Structure 1
Amino acid sequence: MSTMRRTTTGVIGLAVAGTLSLTGCKNGNEEIPAAPSGPASSAPAAPAEQPGSAAPSSPSGYGSSAPAAGAAGQAKSGQTFKLGETATVPFDYGSTKGGTIALTVTAIEQGNPADLDVFKLGDQVKGKVPYYIRYTVKNVGSTDLSFASVGHMKGLLGDGSEAGKLSVIGKFDKCPAESLPKGFTNGQTQTGCAVALAPSAETKVSAAEYWGDPYNSLNKGKGLVWK
């Protein structure tokens, strides 16, 4: 797909055993339907945040116990916040090290199932409802975070289990998520958005979890939760 222009792609990862990664592309007037690509471990290369790797091996719930200690002023692993509250988070991205961001989940908004039609995922999203996790990122450290990407945000259902995740390549007006701009130095702020999928209209995405380093399953940690 690297040769396509004006391409919008959706990669979907459901937090269940045997997850499939699916891709839907829109390229000018030509529409390419999605097709199963097999288990996430054998899926083709995709953006940095892969849905197959986004889901930890076991679902995380609310109120995680025994949070790990963090640096002074930084959010602790497993900490829970209300929507609109800010967490101070250590942040690295590629070769950019030693950053600090203030991360705030501002809203979790229910979308319309028809919003997903652009991705041509067909039955793979039938009955599912998109939710838009909206957040802000502020650089509160001394590291220039130009062109970094703040992802690792997922939805949680009412019982604390993980919602499905849709990773978007390209432009999606309903939920824009762009890399940080050039000159993203101390004091600069940008909004972001992540798409979570509820399995049905009767089930809601009621919380959001940030699971980037050092709050991730690879480090045996617990994410930061907003609800």
Structure 2
Amino acid sequence: MSTISMRGTTLGAVGLAVSATLALTGCKNGNEELPAAQPSSSASGPSQPASPSAQPSTPAAPSSSSSASADAGASPVPGANGTATSGQVFKIGEAAQIPFDYGSTKGGRIALTVTAIEQGNPADLDALKLGDKVKGMIPYYVRYSVQNTGTVDLSHTSVGHIKGLLPDGSEAQGVSIIGKFEKCPNESLPKGFTNGKTQAGCALALAPSAQTKVTGAQYWGEPYNILSKNKELVWK
């Protein structure tokens, strides 16, 4: 599924790579999201607009399952050593124990919890300057927390691959934001993110209309994706 990509909160509108209907049928390989146009410069706040230019959205860093054994508690195999099983379904508020790699950081282990799914106001999207491309859509904020449960320092890594789900199980339209969006902050893990440290995050999802709600969420990072021949983790 493709996403609407934005950099900052005051930039001009950017186009959807494909229509919303086609976006929901896009495949996922666990290492990247289908790219969409996004501006090239970052804005630090509402008073600093920038001119957009097209470039692919930054993909999530690929995982290396062969290196996961560097952490004694991590495993690339869903269901091994207490990790969540392929396709496992959790209730909102329940934690999934998952292996985690990011770039050169290998063998991590985190507890990922979808803590809430909150409906926003369509006016919230005005800050993203997406105009008619999100007309009629309703924003939802998928709130989650990440706890380092392994022995690897996860400083400056990022946990992505989180999507909203509609009642029929299909994916809600995602929005990739580079910069600050106060309604849904999603920052990299801070320096010194060692065992026991926790940070909250947020993923923005769009319901197609007021009659359809975002009722669930999924995680499709390694090893819970098509590339690894496993199913996504689901919260609902």
TM-score (norm 2): 0.75
Q: Deviations over 1:51-82 (max 9, x none)?
A: xxxxxxxxxxxxxxxxx852121001100000
Asked if 1:154 is matched to 2:163, the reply is yes
Which residue number in structure 1 is paired with residue 114 of structure 2? 105
Partners of 2:204 and 2:47 in 1: CA distance:
23
Alpha-carbon contact 2:8-2:181 (below 8 Å) kept: no
> Pick from 36, 44, 56: which aligns with 1:21?
36
Structure 1 residue 17: Cα displacement: 2.2
Q: Pairwise mapping of residues 73-92 of structure 1 onto structure 2 (< 5 A)?
A: 73-92=82-101
Letter in 1 for 2:86: S
Partners of 2:192 and 2:116 in 1: CA distance:
26
Partners of 2:159 and 2:56 in 1: CA distance:
19
Letter in 2 for 1:195: L
Q: Pairwise mapping of residues 40-79 of structure 1 onto structure 2 (< 5 A)?
A: 44-49=55-60, 69-79=78-88
Alpha-carbon contact 1:15-1:162 (below 8 Å) kept: no
Which residue number in structure 2 is paired with residue 7 of structure 1? 8
Letter in 1 for 2:58: P
Partners of 1:49 and 1:197 in 2: CA distance:
20
Q: Deviations over 1:29-62 (max 9, x none)?
A: 5465x89x6xxxxxx2322349xxxxxxxxxxxx
Question: Mind listing any 5+ residue stretches in structure 1 that lack a counterpart?
Answer: 1-5, 38-43, 51-67
Which residue number in structure 2 is paired with residue 212 of structure 1? 221
RMSD, matched Cα: 2.7
Partners of 1:49 and 1:159 in 2: CA distance:
27
TM-score (norm 1): 0.78
Partners of 1:124 and 1:220 in 2: CA distance:
34
Alpha-carbon contact 1:157-1:206 (below 8 Å) kept: yes
Which residue number in structure 2 is paired with residue 144 of structure 1? 153
Higher strand fraction: Structure 1 or Structure 2? 1
Q: Deviations over 1:66-108 (max 9, x none)?
A: xx85212100110000000111000000010000001110000
Partners of 1:85 and 1:210 in 2: CA distance:
13
Alpha-carbon contact 1:139-1:185 (below 8 Å) kept: yes
Letter in 1 for 2:80: A
Structure 1 residue 119: Cα displacement: 1.3
Letter in 2 for 1:88: Q
Residues 126 and 23 of structure 1, relative CA distance in 2, 3 Å threshold: farther
> Pick from 178, 183, 186: which aligns with 1:174?
183
Asked if 1:131 is matched to 2:136, the reply is no
Partners of 1:222 and 1:125 in 2: CA distance:
29
Which residue number in structure 1 is paired with residue 71 of structure 2? none
Alpha-carbon contact 1:49-1:167 (below 8 Å) kept: no
Identical positions, percent = 61
Structure 1 residue 216: Cα displacement: 1.2
Which residue number in structure 2 is paired with residue 55 of structure 1? none
Partners of 2:20 and 2:233 in 1: CA distance:
18
Question: Mind listing any 5+ residue stretches in structure 2 that lack a counterpart?
Answer: 1-6, 27-34, 62-76
Which residue number in structure 2 is paired with residue 192 of structure 1? 201
Aligned length: 197
Partners of 2:204 and 2:20 in 1: CA distance:
14
Partners of 2:102 and 2:60 in 1: CA distance:
12
Alpha-carbon contact 2:36-2:56 (below 8 Å) kept: no
